[in-house]
Each structure stands twice: as C-alpha cells, then as structure tokens.
Chains A and B, each alone.
Chain A
C-alpha cells in the first residue's frame, strides 16, 4: 500500500514539475521573442513614416548575412533563382532552398514553425499555393509577411505590368498592404475539342463556340443537350464544372466568421445532379484514372471539353492526349474559348518575411519574379517557355503586358494563340471570394454533393450534413 501511494505521489510531482517548467519555458521564450518583434515593428513603422503612400522605401541588406533561405513546395521557384543568379553574376548570397511537398500536408506545419521560430534559418522568401495562400496573406499567418513596399518594391509597377487584379486582391493583407503576388496567372478558359465542335456546330471557331456554351449555365446545358444528341459528353465529370462554379460565386464560404453557402455554390448541387441524371458526362472525378483517360477518348463517351487555366493544358491534358504531334491521339485537336463563367484555378504566390535581414535583395528577387515586365524578367521567360532554353513549356503569367508582348501559339491548340483568351480571362477571375479554409470546406462540400447526385441522400440532407461537418471540424459558426 505504502509503495503505491509513493508511486502516485512521485508521478504527481513529476507531472507538476513538467507542467510548471513547461509553462515557465513558454513564458521565457515569450519574453525574449517580444522585444524582437517590437523592434521590428518599430523599424517598419519608421520607414512607413518616411515614405508615405505607395513609394518604396530605401532598404538595405545586413552585411553580415550570407545566406538567403527560400521555402517552396516544388522546385519551380528554386529553379527560377538559378536563372536569377545567372543574370546577376555578382550575386553575393548563397541560396538555401527548402522544398517540402504539399501532398502529405507537411509544408504548412513546417513553414509555420519556421516562421514562428525566426532566427537565421527562418525563411526569407516563401511560396504559397492558391489553396492556402489566404492563410499567409490575410489569415492566421499574415503577420509574418512583409509588405512589398517595405522591401523596396515600387508598387507603381503593379499597374505598369498590368498584373491580373485577382492576384493582387489575394495578395493584399487586412491593412491594405500588398504582401504577395504570383508569377503565373491562372484565369480559366473552356478547353474544347475542335473535331467535336465541327461535328455538332459545323465550326471550331472559339468566337462561335463561346456563344454556344455560354454565358451562364442555362446556355451551357443547352449545349450539353446538343452534344448528347450526337453521343458526346460535355465534360468528363462534376469536378470539371466545380472550379468554374466556385470562383464565380459572389461570396466565399465564410462571411463574418459564419459559414455562408453562396447561392451560386449551392446551385452546384443542381448542376451536378443535372449532369448526372441526363448523362451529360462520364461521371469521373478530377485526377482519377478515368478523368485522364477521357483526354484521349478512352472513356465510354467522347468528352467535349475541360474547364481550366493554361497549366491544365500544358501539364495535364497535353501529356495525356495520347500523342506528341498533330494527328497523334487528340494532339492538335484542342482549342480554348472564353468560359461561360469567369474563374481561376491554382497558382503560386511569393512572399517575403518581414524579419528578413536582406530586405533589399529579397525585394529585388521578388520584384524580378512578380513585377518585372521586361524581357529580362522572369515572366517573359515563363510566358515564352524559355527559362531553361528555347522550346520549353509556355504558360500564362500574371503580367498582361508580358503576355501581350509574347507569343502564346501552341501546336497542341492547333496553332491558336492561347494568350488571346487567357488575357481577358484574368480580368474575370475574382480574388475576393476566397477564405483560408477553402481547401477543407471544398472537400466536404464536394463529398456531400457526390452523395446527393449518387442518390444516397436528399438535397436537404446533403446540405445539413455538410454544415455539420464544417461545424465539427472547423472553428466556424454554423447556423
């Protein structure tokens, strides 16, 4: 008996010591962290006072710093910096790249820890993907991002380079300062099959086709009916219309801290159901095998088109079309036209750490990637596919000025210049209906929509269950 009491006592003291020391440690670190933070805040405030308005402040690098830390989730940006070093032969810094994939969900926790811990290993430049960029520009982690103007970037460049407005909206923090921009613009188009268009409407002219499939969803379903009559599916699955629906809504999932189902997003239930009940699609899900198979006519019905930005063409449809030159597979049989609703999908934003010691250089690099519209700027190489020598993959970029000066013709699109469609598409995309929880909420919503369209539950029940899932898993008020 004595033994047992002794053990319990020992365990309790152990526990207490740890709780106490644990909390003590926390307080200590808080104390040491705070002065630092305040110092930084004061520093930035000073520079604000000196240069009112949009003009860039004079910034310099701390001469003791030798390394610039870059955090990214793919090797895309690290490779760009190789090019930057090539263009600036006397670049004095070593670039330490940290690449953590988003697939296992580890990029954000690691980045958050690194940002919060600070110190020499803290990221100077970091990247965020569309699915979670809001967290770093406006949400829980926005306090780490430096306003571009504090990095010595002249904000007049935004207008000069004609940057897609939605990317600016997304990259602006709650104080109204611009903290992040992309190099890519991901405004979406409708990507369709020329041969099917000719078979159904007698022409493959993008200006005609855009009148057939839009504007709006009623027009879209009329086209679906016409396509069905000839044995075609208008899209591959319900996921294809989701990105268009999501981004064309007026409000995001959260309004004033409460869950909000925008009528246009709620309509996705009915649109999906209509697609499924009328057999307008092959009932695939995006990124599944069957979805890829539809790109080369390997599904049960031939599929007319996909909703997507330029990267979907270059990185997804082209490698899966079943050929590498015109005439092979569906290669060359594609075209892009204005979609029935404006939207964007994906993209990468570049942010600078407000605590970076190399403000001038970080600013220079970010400017070169996001705002430099000259022929030496990153976006020029990116749009023309010349970053790693000629003949690379062309992509749409954030700067309309660069796209106007670049050649977007693709053999894959039968010689069409994709920039003709994607430049206006960037104007229609909205950046104001995003929230930092989109990735999670979208998953719940699409799961419930699929339950409804599969006939497993009623429309009301699906909405009810969706609300319950959000309430169960997120810190959002649900009525």
Chain B
C-alpha cells in the first residue's frame, strides 16, 4: 500500500494544465451526485423533527422544526421499542450476513479451486437458481414455514442465507481474478489442511469481496420487511422495519413525524455498519498487499 501511494504522489507532481479542467469537471459531477445522495436523508432527518401537521402540509423541508421530543413521545406510546427492535434486527442481520459471506465464499472456493466432477453442472445449477423470480416462490415458503411451525423464530430468516446464489456468483468471479492457485498449492506443500487454507489464506485475500457482500446482505436483511412481517407475529420478536410499518399502519391517523423519526432510528445503525465495512472498500485492499 505504502509503495502505491508513493507512486501516486510521484506522478501527482506531473499533472498538466488540461487535466486541471478535467479534474474540476470530475469534482463537479461528484459533488452533484453526493448532493442528490444526501438530500433524501437530510429531508428524512428534518422530518423526524417536524410535526405530523407540518409534514402533511408540505412533506419536504430543508430546515428542522421543534417537534423532536413530541415525536419521541408518540413513538414511546406506540409500543415502539427501539432497543428491542434494534436487538432483534441485529441478531437477524448479523446472522444473515455471517451466513451469506462465509458460506458463499466457501461454496465459491469449492467451485474455483477443486476440480470435481459435478463442478460445472453445480455452477450452472446455481446460476439457474438465481434466475428464479422471488415473488411467488414466497407462497410455498410461507406455507412450508407455517407447517413446520417455524413462525416467531429467527431461523427461517437466517438459515436460507447460507444458500445465496448471487453472492456465490460474485465470490466466484472475484476468486477467479484474485486468487492465484499457486498460493493454495504452496500452502498444501507446507502441510496445511484444506479448511486451514480456506480460513487462514483465502479469507484474507477475499476481504474486499467479503466486505462488499457483507454490506449488501446486511443492508438487504436490515431493510427486509415482507418476510419478517409474515413470519414474526409476536411483539417481542419484531424487527425495526416491522415497528416502523406499524407506525404507518394506522390509516386513519398516521403520525408522520414519528414515522420519520422511526425511519431515522432504523437507518442510523446501518450508517455505522456501513461506515465500518466501507473502510475495506474505500481503501481497496489489493491482492498485492496481502502478498507482500
């Protein structure tokens, strides 16, 4: 990494005039995109401080108002238990992320490194799985879970994540490009077991891919509403999005201010997780650094 930075600096001194124009242009585009990325969050946080009445009159405002505390009170009175919801969501999302990342990499590793008879058919099979539209296989899934009496359990939300075809596909594509087979071979010569090689050598190499998939699956699972909504019916099992949807649910008297506050509270933990994981992506842990 250090060496790379040095290279950047060395060349950075030679920037010509024309590229300043290009650079300015790049900044303008980036800043514009950044603004449209932030804006909705800004509006959401501002609305969390506004009263239901203000929001119904005009849903979009760039300035905060004074109703944060009263929104808080409404939330509190509405069987909205952020701590409980947070813990439940955290259990589910962490479980999903761990399962997706670890087992997808494991499966991808099996597809890339080992030369087994069913390898190609298995890969084709995973691809085919990815093509199945999600909307309707849901019907079968829910009925199955109800038959197993697996409602109000986190397992039907977490376990299916072990088989995440898209993540396997991504990991496979990544490993094909980033994992030199001779590393595996040399580890074998050193007498390392296959699981040891996977856990100690392949995992670190795949960090950027894992961080990427971790963010995707964590965000996806954290925001997932429909499946938990149908499977978790007891209040002490509710996840954050279920609680927020309950706030919105009262069609006769929706408290918009507290809905936005609830949504904001739901997003905050995501920010933190994203911030932590994005380190890997932003720095771009390259294969070379692992090698070195």
Contact = CB atoms under 8 A, between A and B. Distances in A.
Is there a contact between chains A and B in the complex with CB atoms less than 8 Å apart? Answer: yes
Interface of A: 3-4, 7, 11, 25, 29, 71, 73-76, 96-104, 106, 109-110, 113-114, 116-117, 119, 121, 129, 289, 292-293, 296, 298, 311, 315-316, 319-320, 322, 346
Interface residues of B, number: 34
Contacts of A129: 251
A110 B56 contact: no
B229 A104 contact: yes
Nearest to A293: B57
B79 interface: yes
B252 interface: yes
B230 A311 contact: no
B253 A101 contact: no
B233 A346 contact: no
Contacts of B152: 121
A236 to B, nearest CB: 13
Given A29-B147, A289-B56, A320-B53, A101 B121 contact: no
A97 B235 contact: yes
Contacts of A25: 147
Given A100-B233, A109-B142, A293-B57, A117 B245 contact: no
Sort A-B residue pairs by CB-CB distance and give the 5 closest, nearest first: A101-B249, A315-B253, A292-B56, A106-B229, A7-B121
A316 B125 CA distance: 54
12 contacts: A103-B249, A104-B225, A106-B225, A109-B230, A110-B230, A110-B233, A113-B230, A289-B58, A293-B58, A311-B252, A315-B252, A346-B251
A113 B249 contact: no
B63 interface: no
B117 interface: yes
Contacts of A106: 225-226, 229-230
B252 A101 contact: no
A117 B229 contact: no
B59 A289 contact: yes
Of A98, A104, A114, A117, the most chain B CB neighbours within 10 A belong to A104
Contact of B146 (A102, A104, A117, A322): A117
B53 A319 contact: yes
Interface in B118-166: 118, 121, 125, 142-143, 146-147, 149, 151-152
A322 B234 CA distance: 38
A104 B245 CA distance: 8
A369 to B, nearest CB: 17
A315 B7 CA distance: 65
Interface in B237-292: 245-246, 248-253
Contacts of A316: 252-253
B116 to A, nearest CB: 12
A309 to B, nearest CB: 10
B230 A101 contact: no
B52 interface: yes
A97 B79 CA distance: 11
Nearest to A119: B149
Contacts of A119: 149
B196 interface: no
B78 interface: yes
A100 B229 contact: yes
B154 to A, nearest CB: 16
A454 B166 CA distance: 44
A329 B245 CA distance: 31
A148 B121 CA distance: 59
Given A104-B245, A289-B57, A293-B57, A113 B229 contact: no
